[in-house]
């Protein structure tokens, strides 16, 4: 393994060492085995922070039943709350609404928003763009039904981390191309935007920083084997990004997909889309889902502030 940088925060260094030693080599398993292995290592759900309500329901999706989990925070909102339709990360292959339960609760509480977490279909059983189509169906459902949960159907954002960030970006393209629904924002959290493994961040951080190049190649091969020129799979392939919703783009310096995320933010801005961008230097892929990391709390505060700001725009 290539030597890691020596200037990292001690807690980041310790966390990376733990993750490098304990996270499975995803390329050595088939998808069902990998899901079981990751599930077996997951801690018990804490159900924190507490919500006014958490509702699990199933809607009709393009591939059959589509599970959603809806988080409504405590507090007296001054009118309907903004809505965040959220797609979890997991390389398009694993994770679910439970793995991201704490993150979604924290998001709903801090942003004062109704969060709809989407349990989309996973690869390789369901190839691209199945997951995006599930997200699109969830957004359509939210437009029609979220008022029953105190959400504002005129202020619906899409968000996701990692592979989920890809789905937030691609569903934004789909909504533009299909004439709706209107989206208030797209919130891309260390999103997997492209399948270019030769970028600067891949060259610098493709080994030794938890999320590595070999894993990323494997994830893409599960979701879009052989690659794709479809913008609903790889949003960087879109001929134009004009007309997309305002974007919040979060990247992590030590993350191989970082350069592609930054390039996408630059292109969005160049093509007239309002963009708020922030790179977390010295942090790695997935850091928001590790609340025990000492730096995660302050980073979350920054992300929640950015989300509140974009959702407050008229």
Give the count of beta carbons closer than 10 Å to the beta carbon of residue 96. Answer: 18
CA distance 279 to 105: 23
Annotation marks residue 162 as catalytic = yes
CA distance 244 to 274: 9
Q: Which long-range contacts (CB under 8 A, 24 or more apart) does 30-37 make?
A: 31/93, 31/94, 31/122, 31/123, 31/124, 31/125, 31/222, 34/93, 34/94, 35/93, 35/94, 35/122
CA distance 211 to 201: 12
Q: Which two tokens stand for residue 72?
A: 């409504």
Which is the catalytic residue, given 106, 117, 162, 259? Answer: 162
Q: How far is CA 218 from the centre of its chain?
A: 18
CA distances to 24, 225, 290 from 16, rounded to whole Å, are 13, 29, 11
Give the count of beta carbons closer than 10 Å to the beta carbon of residue 278. Answer: 15
Cβ(8)–Cβ(210) under 8 Å? Answer: no
Strand segments (E) across 23-120: 53-61, 64-72, 81-87, 114-118
Strand segments (E) across 175-235: 185-189
Catalytically active residues are 162
């Amino acid at each position: 393994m290539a030597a890691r940088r020596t200037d990292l925060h001690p807690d980041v260094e310790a966390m990376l060492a733990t993750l490098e030693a304990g996270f499975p080599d995803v390329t050595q398993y088939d998808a069902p085995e990998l899901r079981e292995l990751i599930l077996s290592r997951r801690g018990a759900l804490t159900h924190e922070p507490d919500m006014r309500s958490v509702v699990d329901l199933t809607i009709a999706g393009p591939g059959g039943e589509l599970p959603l989990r809806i988080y409504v925070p405590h507090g007296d909102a001054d009118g309907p709350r903004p809505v965040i339709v959220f797609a979890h990360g997991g390389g398009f292959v694993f994770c679910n609404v439970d793995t991201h339960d704490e993150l979604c609760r924290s998001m709903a509480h801090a942003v004062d928003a109704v969060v709809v977490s989407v349990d989309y279909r996973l690869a390789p059983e369901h190839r691209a763009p199945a997951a995006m189509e599930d997200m699109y169906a969830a957004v359509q459902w939210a437009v029609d039904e979220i008022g029953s949960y105190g959400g504002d159907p005129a202020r619906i954002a899409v968000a996701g981390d990692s592979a989920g960030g890809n789905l937030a970006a691609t569903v934004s393209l789909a909504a533009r191309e299909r004439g709706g629904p209107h989206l208030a924002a797209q919130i891309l959290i260390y999103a997997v935007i492209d399948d270019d493994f030769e970028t600067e961040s891949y060259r610098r951080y493709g080994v030794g920083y938890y999320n590595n190049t070999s894993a990323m190649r494997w994830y893409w091969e599960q979701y879009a084997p052989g690659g794709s020129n479809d913008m609903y799979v790889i949003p960087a392939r879109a001929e134009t990004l004009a007309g997309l919703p305002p974007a919040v783009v979060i990247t992590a310096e030590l993350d191989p997909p970082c350069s592609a995320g930054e390039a996408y933010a630059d292109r969005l801005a160049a093509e007239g889309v309002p963009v708020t961008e922030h790179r977390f230097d010295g942090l790695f892929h997935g850091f928001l889902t590790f609340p025990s990391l000492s730096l995660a709390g302050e980073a979350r505060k920054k992300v929640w502030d950015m989300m509140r700001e974009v959702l407050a725009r008229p």
